């Protein structure tokens, strides 16, 4: 039997995605490979994409899937500000 909880959780995070990763399908991977539902709450990305992009996201999924997704983001050295830890 799996140790995963039967209920999904909602987690709010802020991300700073550097310009070097703007062409990477980061959010698509969160959805497709980690089974996370991603909802944009706010975003700041300049039109010319000359700097990093800030995103406020709600992530919905099973706790272990969310943690795996956050580890993936950390592996890319994306800044994560997790309001659940404050």
What is the C-alpha to C-alpha distance for residues 10 and 50, in angstroms, rounded to an integer?
31
What is the SS3 assignment for 83? helix
What domains are there in the chain, each with its CATH number?
20-81 (3.30.70.260)
Give pLDDT, residue 19: 82
Average pLDDT over residues 74-82: 92
Q: Which residue has the higher pLDDT, 57 or 4?
A: 57
Instruction: pLDDT band for 86, please (50, 70, 90 cuts).
Output: very low
Please report where in the chains the tokens 């990093």 appear, as a residue: 52
For Cα atoms 72, 78, 82, give the angle at the middle one, nearest 5 degrees: 85
- Global pTM value: 0.81
- Summarised one tens digit per residue, pLDDT across range 17-76 is 888 888 889 989 999 999 999 999 998 877 665 677 889 999 999 999 999 999 999 999
């Amino acid at each position: 039997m799996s140790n995963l909880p039967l209920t999904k959780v909602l987690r709010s995070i802020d991300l700073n995605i550097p310009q070097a990763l703007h062409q990477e399908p980061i959010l698509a991977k969160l959805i497709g490979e980690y089974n996370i539902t991603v909802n944009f709450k706010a975003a700041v990305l300049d039109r010319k994409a000359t700097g990093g992009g800030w995103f406020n996201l709600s992530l919905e999924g099973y706790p272990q899937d969310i943690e795996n997704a956050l580890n993936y983001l950390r592996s890319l050295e994306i800044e994560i500000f997790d309001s659940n830890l404050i």
